[in-house]
Structure 1
Amino acid sequence: MKTILIPLNGTSPSEALIDAAVKLARQTGGFVQAVWCQQTLPIIAGEGITLPAEYLSQFEQEERQLAAHSKEAFMERIGNLQVPLAEIEDWDRSGPAASWMELQGTGAVALAELARIFDISVMHRPVPEQTTEWRTTCETVLFEGGRPLLLVSDALPNQFGRNIVIAWNGSSETARAIAMASSLLRTAEQVHVIEVEGGMVSGPTATQVACALKAGGVNAFAESLKSGDSSVADAIMGYAANVEADLIVKGAYTHSRLRALIFGGATSDIFSKSTLPVLFCH
Structure 2
Amino acid sequence: MKDVRKILLPLPSTLNGEAALAQGCNFARRFGAHLAVLHVRSDGRDIAPLAGEGLSGAMVEDLMRSADHESSRHAHDVHVLFERFVASQPDIEVVSPNTLPPMDRPSISFHILRGAENEIVPAHARLSDFTLVPHPDAGTEFSASETLHAVLFDSGRPVVMAPRMAPGGFIKQVCIGWNGTAESAAALRGALPWASTADAVRILHCEDYQRRGPAAQDVVTYLAIHGIKADIVEFPPIERDVGKGLLAACNEFGADLLAMGAYSHSRLRQLILGGVTRHVLEAAELTVLMSR
Q: Which range, TM-score by smaller chain?
A: over 0.9
Hey, what's the Cα distance between the residues in 2 that align with 1:142 and 1:10?
A: 19
User: SS at 2:50's partner residue?
Assistant: coil
Matching residue of 1:70: 78
User: Which amino acid letter does the alignment assign opposite residue 44 of structure 1?
Assistant: L
- Closer, same or farther: CA 121–139 of 1 in aligned 2, 3 Å: same
Contact 1:246 1:276 in 2 (8 A): yes
Match of 2:232 among 222, 225, 243: 222
Hey, what's the Cα distance between the residues in 2 that align with 1:12 and 1:184?
A: 26
Match of 2:50 among 44, 49, 69: 44
Hey, what's the Cα distance between the residues in 2 that align with 1:152 and 1:210?
A: 26
Q: Structure 1 stretches of 5 or more lacking a match? A: none
Task: State the TM-score, normalized to the length of structure 2.
Answer: 0.89
Matching residue of 1:32: 35
1:255 and 2:265 aligned? yes
User: SS at 2:127's partner residue?
Assistant: coil
1:234-282 superposed Cα distances (whole Å, 9 cap, x missing partner): 1111111111111000011111101111111101100000001101111
User: SS at 1:34's partner residue?
Assistant: strand
Give the Å deviation of 1:160: 4.2
Hey, what's the Cα distance between the residues in 2 that align with 1:77 and 1:129?
A: 26
Percent identity at matched positions?
26
Contact 2:9 2:36 in 1 (8 A): yes
Hey, what's the Cα distance between the residues in 2 that align with 1:29 and 1:208?
A: 31
- Closer, same or farther: CA 161–203 of 1 in aligned 2, 3 Å: farther
Hey, what's the Cα distance between the residues in 2 that align with 1:144 and 1:128?
A: 21
Matching residue of 1:6: 9
Match of 2:26 among 10, 16, 23: 23
1:27-66 superposed Cα distances (whole Å, 9 cap, x missing partner): 0011111111111332223479635434333332332222
User: SS at 2:93's partner residue?
Assistant: coil
Matching residue of 1:60: 68
Give matches, 1:1-282, under 5 Å: 1-11=4-14, 14-40=17-43, 41-42=46-47, 43-46=49-52, 50=57, 52=59, 53-82=61-90, 83-88=92-97, 89-127=99-137, 129-227=139-237, 229-282=239-292
Which has the larger displacement, 145-154 or 85-94? 85-94
Q: Structure 2 stretches of 5 or more lacking a match? A: none
Task: State the TM-score, normalized to the length of structure 1.
Answer: 0.92
- Closer, same or farther: CA 172–51 of 1 in aligned 2, 3 Å: farther
User: Which amino acid letter does the alignment assign opposite residue 95 of structure 2?
Assistant: A
- Closer, same or farther: CA 62–156 of 1 in aligned 2, 3 Å: closer
Hey, what's the Cα distance between the residues in 2 that align with 1:128 and 1:140?
A: 16
